[in-house]
């Protein structure tokens, strides 16, 4: 390729925006580690993408999302914190280094259950940074999610009735935000097209595992399922080694013994006559 006079080569201009279909995308935008090494190895960029919307498709809303997303969100919040001050040395907070208040906020749009703050705190998510939006209609939920994405706020939105063109609007808005954005949809939505750059199907696995299938990613198709150990942090100390493993399959019931054929009983009139 040739470069324009006085400009960068075209290869450098498109670095991180193009990828071969047989390999994972190496986006130039930083990725957020998910907390699962097996999953990060299959995600373009090695983690949850930024400047993009991620769709999570689940069979039942509000059950598996937190166990999958909590490690990554916890690491994201830790990355927003400023380094501790050293004794005798003041902390200089430059405008470029200090995180904005919006970047430390997580907006929950239309969750199916009332957020349990002690449980979220046990997962490492500070309750003071959570904002709960109870939308009255699907249109209000979409509006709240889009406005939050444009404000560069981290978003977890449950949008069971969103249409493909509405997901496209959210994906376009996400291109200008470097905060994590997750859209929770029902499993049946996997049959629809979507502009989201990453789509995952999440199901309960054996024991405390999660079964994750990458339905869409920037790279080759992913055919298999990933088993992710996702024991909640507050529950893990209470589990023994035996309880961490899936329960063994119950033994099949023994086959009933074949019934013996009924013996023929002679008729009363067929008995021999007894002489006195």
Condensed to tens digits (0 to 9), the pLDDT of residues 138-150 reads 999 999 999 999 9
Residue 143 inside a domain? The answer is yes
Residue 246 inside a domain? The answer is no
Residue 126 inside a domain? The answer is yes
Give yes or no for residue 99 having a pLDDT over 90. no
Q: What distance in Å separates the CA atoms of residue 105 and residue 130, rounded to the nearest whole number?
A: 6
Q: What distance in Å separates the CA atoms of residue 189 and residue 155, rounded to the nearest whole number?
A: 19
Q: What is the pLDDT of residue 105?
A: 86
Q: What distance in Å separates the CA atoms of residue 147 and residue 127, rounded to the nearest whole number?
A: 21
Q: What is the domain range of residue 134?
A: 33-79+100-230
What number is the average pLDDT over the span 9-16?
49
Q: What distance in Å separates the CA atoms of residue 110 and residue 108, rounded to the nearest whole number?
A: 6
What number is the average pLDDT over the span 245-257?
57
Residue 25 inside a domain? The answer is no
Q: What is the pLDDT of residue 203?
A: 94
> Taking the alpha carbons of 125, 76, 18, 165 in that order, is the dihedral positive or negative?
positive
Residue 111 inside a domain? The answer is yes
Condensed to tens digits (0 to 9), the pLDDT of residues 24-76 reads 445 557 889 999 999 999 999 899 998 999 999 999 898 899 999 999 998 88
Count of all residues that appear for the chain in the document: 276
Q: How far, CA to CA in Å, does 102 sit from each of 77, 106, 153, 198?
A: 12, 9, 6, 24
Q: Which residues pair with 109 in a beta bridge?
A: 133, 157
Condensed to tens digits (0 to 9), the pLDDT of residues 113-136 reads 988 888 888 888 888 888 999 998
Residue 84 inside a domain? The answer is no
Residue 128 inside a domain? The answer is yes
20 membership: H or E segment, kind and range: none
Beta-sheet pairing, 209-216 with 226-229: antiparallel
Cβ pair 213, 194 in contact under 8 A: no
As for how many domains the chain has, the answer is: 1
Give yes or no for residue 80 having a pLDDT over 60. yes
Cβ pair 71, 34 in contact under 8 A: yes
Residue 197's CATH number = 3.40.50.300
Residue 211 inside a domain? The answer is yes
Of 182, 261, 228, nearest to 67 by C-alpha is 228
Q: What is the pLDDT of residue 5?
A: 57
63 membership: H or E segment, kind and range: none
Cβ pair 228, 36 in contact under 8 A: yes
Cβ pair 49, 31 in contact under 8 A: yes
């Amino acid at each position: 390729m040739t470069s324009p006079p006085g400009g960068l080569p075209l290869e450098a201009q498109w670095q991180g925006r193009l990828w071969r279909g047989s390999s994972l995308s190496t986006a130039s935008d930083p990725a957020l580690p998910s907390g699962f090494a097996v999953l990060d190895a299959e995600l373009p960029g090695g983690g949850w993408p930024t400047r993009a919307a991620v769709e999570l498709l689940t069979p039942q809303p509000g059950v598996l999302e937190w166990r999958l997303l909590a490690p990554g969100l916890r690491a994201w919040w830790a990355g927003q914190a400023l380094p501790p001050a050293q004794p005798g040395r003041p902390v200089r907070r430059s405008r470029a280094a200090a995180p904005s208040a919006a970047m430390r906020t997580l907006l929950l749009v239309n969750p199916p259950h009332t957020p349990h703050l002690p449980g979220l705190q046990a997962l490492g998510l500070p309750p003071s940074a959570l904002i709960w939006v109870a939308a009255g209609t699907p249109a209000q939920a979409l509006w709240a999610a889009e406005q939050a994405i444009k404000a560069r706020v981290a978003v977890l939105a449950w949008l069971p009735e969103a249409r493909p063109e509405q997901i496209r609007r959210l994906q376009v808005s996400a291109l200008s935000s470097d905060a994590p954005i997750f859209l929770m949809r029902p499993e049946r939505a996997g049959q629809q097209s979507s502009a989201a750059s990453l789509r995952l199907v999440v199901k309960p696995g054996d024991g405390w595992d999660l079964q994750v299938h990458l339905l869409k990613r920037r790279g080759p198709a992913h055919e298999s399922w990933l088993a992710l150990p996702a024991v909640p942090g507050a529950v893990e100390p209470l589990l023994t080694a035996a309880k961490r493993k899936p329960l063994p399959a119950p033994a099949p019931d023994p086959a009933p013994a074949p019934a013996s054929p009924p013996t023929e009983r002679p008729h009363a009139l067929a008995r021999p006559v007894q002489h006195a």
